[in-house]
């Protein structure tokens, strides 16, 4: 089998309502879709969801990379030599992790389609579905509580509350949500780098009665000593998100016992191949993994889901980015039922962009 053509195009996905976290407010997401056509008729599909603050890329840079720099290396190559092809772009596209993720996804999609099997089974096959949390961006206490009630009413049993701008209000938000949803719902909190060590400790102490499941990325991404400090001083598990961008970061965080958990996002790390390696490092250090996402279309969510379904130490999924997007043409690439995500059951990632 040979790759004969790459098509990449940008798609604007407005959010159903503005989404605020500690360092930005998002109203619209630009995703780039990728199709890798082969001479066998199989077409691999991928998606990039760059976020300049995190992945360091703009959408037009990703589009340029996929249109100009990847084709000369890929056209004529055997798409089943996944590792070799990814190695060939690893250095050149070092600063374009979401572009690499789109390529990686499309190659794995071809593998699954060629084998006639859903990707999660090829990657290892551990579970056939996973519960996902749903995220509530920063908003007033009242509207946070209202959103929490709404999501629980729709069957979600795990909520992720965003904060990191105002500790006192964060505490109030968490306590009020716990009061509203009752003791059975799992609550997670993500400060998106917004706290200091002292604020993190105060926050965890003040919210003890809410029994938070975990505290995600309390301090700025490069302040690893502070991260380690928080981890050793609070009573709940601490998770690295923005501090984990690569396999090397995973090793550093694991070796230094700086966190209890890691949030692996395909767009940050460059795709499934890298995610599997990072997850192995996490497992070697006894760290639990969560698969997270950006503001990304259903197709990219599906790729994250296949990875999550293939590994036993991926205990958590936070794969809800597509739910905020209006007019996502790939929304049906995953099936959501009562807060649990299922793949479509079709080969590969399970969705064909050529159906659009």
Q: Which stretch binds Mg ion (CB under 5 A): 61-69, 124-132, 163-171, 216-224?
A: 216-224
Catalytic residue among 51, 241, 296, 318: 241
CB of 263 to Mg ion, least distance (A): 6
Compare residues 113 and 162 and give the one whose CB is closer to Mg ion.
162
Q: Which stretch binds Mg ion (CB under 5 A): 148-156, 240-248, 270-278, 283-291?
A: 240-248
Based on the shown chain and the rule CB under 5 A, indicate whether residue 318 belongs to the binding site for Mg ion.
no
Q: Residues 178, 210: contact at Cβ < 8 Å?
A: yes
CA 176, distance to chain mean position in Å, is: 27
Does 216 participate in catalysis according to the annotation?
yes
Question: Binding mask 175-214 vs Mg ion (x if CB under 5 A, - otherwise)?
Answer: ---------------x------------------------
CB of 237 to Mg ion, least distance (A): 14
Question: What are residue 255's DSSP bridge partners?
Answer: none
- Contacts (Cβ under 8 Å, ≥6 apart) of 18: 25, 26, 27, 137
Catalytic residue among 57, 104, 213, 216: 216
Instruction: Count residues binding Mg ion (CB under 5 A).
Output: 3
Question: Which of 222, 275, 284 shows the shortest CA–CA distance to 254?
Answer: 284
Size of the chain in residues: 356
If you ran DSSP here, which 8-state letter would residue 68 be given?
I
The residue at minimum Cβ distance from Mg ion is: 241
- Contacts (Cβ under 8 Å, ≥6 apart) of 12: 28, 29, 30
Does 147 participate in catalysis according to the annotation?
no
Compare residues 137 and 329 and give the one whose CB is closer to Mg ion.
137
Does 346 participate in catalysis according to the annotation?
no
CB of 258 to Mg ion, least distance (A): 16
Compare residues 294 and 303 and give the one whose CB is closer to Mg ion.
294
State how beta strands 43-48 and 24-38 pair: antiparallel
CA–CA distance, 83 with 81 (Å, rounded to integer): 6
DSSP symbols for 227-254: HHHHHHHSSS-EEESTT--SHHHHHHHH
CA–CA distance, 189 with 209 (Å, rounded to integer): 14
Helix (H) or strand (E) holding 269: helix 266-269
If you ran DSSP here, which 8-state letter would residue 209 be given?
G
Compare residues 228 and 241 and give the one whose CB is closer to Mg ion.
241
Does 296 participate in catalysis according to the annotation?
no
Compare residues 38 and 231 and give the one whose CB is closer to Mg ion.
231
Does 162 participate in catalysis according to the annotation?
yes
Based on the shown chain and the rule CB under 5 A, indicate whether residue 241 belongs to the binding site for Mg ion.
yes
Based on the shown chain and the rule CB under 5 A, indicate whether residue 296 belongs to the binding site for Mg ion.
no
- Torsion angle, alpha carbons of 92, 94, 97, 98, to 10: -30
Q: Which stretch binds Mg ion (CB under 5 A): 11-19, 31-39, 121-129, 241-249?
A: 241-249
Burial letters 231-251, b for 16+ CB under 10 A, else e: beebebbbbbbbbbbbbebbb
CB of 204 to Mg ion, least distance (A): 17
CB of 266 to Mg ion, least distance (A): 14
CB of 201 to Mg ion, least distance (A): 19
Catalytic residue among 170, 265, 274, 352: 265
Provide the annotated active-site residues.
162, 190, 216, 241, 265
Binding site for Mg ion (CB under 5 A): 190, 216, 241
């Amino acid at each position: 089998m040979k790759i004969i053509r790459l098509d990449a195009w940008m798609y604007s996905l407005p959010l159903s309502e503005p989404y605020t976290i500690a360092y930005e407010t998002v109203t619209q997401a630009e995703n780039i879709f990728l199709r890798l056509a082969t001479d066998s008729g199989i077409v691999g599909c991928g998606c990039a969801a760059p976020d300049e603050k995190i992945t360091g890329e703009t959408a037009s840079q990703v589009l340029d990379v996929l249109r100009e720099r990847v084709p000369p290396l890929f056209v004529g190559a055997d798409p089943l030599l996944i590792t070799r092809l990814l190695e060939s772009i690893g250095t050149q596209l070092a600063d374009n992790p979401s572009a690499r993720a789109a390529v990686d996804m499309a190659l794995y999609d071809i593998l699954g389609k060629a084998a006639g099997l859903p990707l999660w089974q090829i990657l290892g096959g551990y579970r056939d579905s996973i519960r996902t949390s749903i995220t509530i961006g920063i908003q007033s206490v009242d509207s946070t509580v209202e959103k929490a009630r709404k999501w629980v009413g729709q069957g979600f049993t795990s909520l992720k509350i965003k904060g990191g701008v105002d500790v006192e209000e964060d505490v109030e938000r968490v306590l009020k949500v716990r009061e509203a949803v009752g003791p059975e719902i799992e609550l997670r909190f993500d400060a998106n780098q917004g706290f200091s060590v002292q604020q993190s400790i105060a926050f965890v102490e003040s919210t003890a009665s809410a029994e938070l499941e975990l505290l995600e990325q309390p301090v700025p991404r490069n302040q690893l000593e502070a991260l380690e400090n928080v981890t050793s001083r609070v009573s709940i598990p601490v998770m690295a998100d923005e501090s984990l961008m690569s396999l090397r970061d995973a090793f550093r965080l694991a070796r230094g016992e700086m966190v209890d958990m890691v949030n692996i996002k395909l767009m940050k790390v460059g795709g499934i191949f890298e995610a599997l390696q990072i997850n192995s490092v996490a497992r070697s250090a006894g760290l639990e993994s969560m698969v997270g996402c950006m503001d990304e279309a259903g197709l990219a969510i599906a790729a994250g889901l296949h990875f999550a379904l293939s590994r036993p130490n991926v205990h958590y999924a936070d794969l809800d980015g597509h739910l905020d997007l209006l007019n996502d043409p790939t929304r049906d690439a995953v099936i959501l039922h009562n807060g649990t995500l299922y793949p479509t059951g079709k080969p590969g990632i399970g969705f064909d962009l050529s159906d659009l």
